[in-house]
A and B are shown apart, each in its own frame.
Chain A
Amino acid sequence: MSIWKYANPLKFMGWTGPIVVPMAVLATVCILTGIIWGFFFTPDDYRMGSSVKIIYIHVPSAMMAINAWAMMLVASLIWLVRRHHVSALAAKAAAPIGVVMTLIALITGAIWGQPMWGTWWAWDPRLTSFLILLLFYIGYMAMWQAIENPDTAADLTSVLCLVGSVFAILSRYAVNFWNQGLHQGASLSLDAEENVADVFWFPLVLTIVGFVLLFIALVLIRTRTEIRARRLFSLNARERMNDA
């Protein structure tokens, strides 16, 4: 008995089936509550005015953009080491979600930056590294698209994800070196000095939890779809062989 038994495709379909819908509902509830709370019942920031309300989508999406890549990295490693097909498919399923999260973070950031910094875009380290992250996501997805054999695709994208992670981190520090930023520090560090005020904190945590749940629900749905697609692929392949 080990946790790996849950990675068997059939088992995976079995245990994820019943939890997908509750997970999606819970994610929706958390996001909606957090956003309604943040949108209607928090005061304006004394410096940023009402624009501070963008934080409830900007910060969670930015966190998920990075966490999605981290999850892809873990899933790729599991695939390379233990050859669980579900793992590779989960990594594939997470990439488009990561792209959307990165886009949301970039767009809301640009909209927020316009009144605060007087510019849509600045070549600030954080902004720039997110743009680079977006490029990595695009390359990763393009690689999945380009290769026909599913196992080869899983292997090559996993290797790419590993190497890409190293270079993404390198780029993160390289751009730090290259330009000083406009972006403020961490909003949610353990260091209380840096932290956002409590009134903003609670709804923010709620939306973050909501985004995490949304991510999990979407990954589960997409992975289930990928498993079905793989099954279909092999069924069709068998049929063609029978016909021939």
Chain B
Amino acid sequence: MPELGKYAAEVLAAYGATFLLLAGLVWATWARSIRVRRALEQALEQRDNG
């Protein structure tokens, strides 16, 4: 860990906030991608079988 001096709290907070936001974005993208893909596969299956 590098010596962050008196700005440690600020630097870590900035990195933490960024990480959280990016993680949220990636998660949302991922989750919706999987959900839509599943739903589409299901719909296609239904069409082919039904």
Touch test A–B (CB under 8 Å): yes
Chain A contact residues, CB within 8 Å of chain B: 35, 39-40, 44, 48-51, 53-54, 57-58, 61, 96-97, 100, 103-104, 107-108, 111-112, 114-115, 214, 218, 221-222, 224-225, 228-229, 231-232, 235-236, 239
Residues on the A chain within 8 Å of B3, using CB: 50
B1: nearest residue on chain A (CB-CB)?
A40
Contact, CB under 8 Å: B39 / A51? no
B24: nearest residue on chain A (CB-CB)?
A100
Q: Jot down 30 A-B pairs with beta carbons below 8 A, ordered by A.
A: A48-B7, A49-B5, A49-B7, A50-B4, A50-B5, A50-B11, A54-B10, A54-B11, A54-B14, A54-B15, A57-B18, A96-B25, A97-B25, A100-B22, A100-B25, A107-B18, A111-B14, A112-B10, A112-B14, A115-B10, A218-B25, A218-B26, A221-B29, A222-B29, A225-B33, A225-B36, A229-B36, A231-B40, A232-B43, A236-B43
A57: nearest residue on chain B (CB-CB)?
B18
Residues on the A chain within 8 Å of B47, using CB: 235, 239
Residues on the A chain within 8 Å of B8, using CB: 50
In the assembled complex, how far is the CB of residue B24 from the closest CB belonging to chain A, in whole angstroms?
7
Q: Mark B30-47, 1 if CB is under 8 A from A, else 0.
A: 101100110110011001
In the assembled complex, how far is the CB of residue A66 from the closest CB belonging to chain B, in whole angstroms?
17
In the assembled complex, how far is the CB of residue B7 from the closest CB belonging to chain A, in whole angstroms?
4
In the assembled complex, how far is the CB of residue B19 from the closest CB belonging to chain A, in whole angstroms?
9
Contact, CB under 8 Å: A104 / B43? no
Size range of the chain B interface in the assembly: 20 to 34
Contact, CB under 8 Å: B14 / A115? no
B8: nearest residue on chain A (CB-CB)?
A50
Main secondary structure of the interface of A (DSSP, over half): helix
In the assembled complex, how far is the CB of residue A144 from the closest CB belonging to chain B, in whole angstroms?
14
Known contacts A53-B11, A108-B18: A235-B43 contact under CB 8 Å: yes
Contact, CB under 8 Å: B2 / A40? yes
Contact, CB under 8 Å: A218 / B29? yes
Known contacts A218-B25, A218-B29: A107-B10 contact under CB 8 Å: no
In the bound complex, CA of A140 to CA of B21 (Å): 20
A105: nearest residue on chain B (CB-CB)?
B18
Residues on the A chain within 8 Å of B33, using CB: 221-222, 224-225
In the assembled complex, how far is the CB of residue A221 from the closest CB belonging to chain B, in whole angstroms?
5
Residues on the B chain within 8 Å of A108, using CB: 14, 17-18
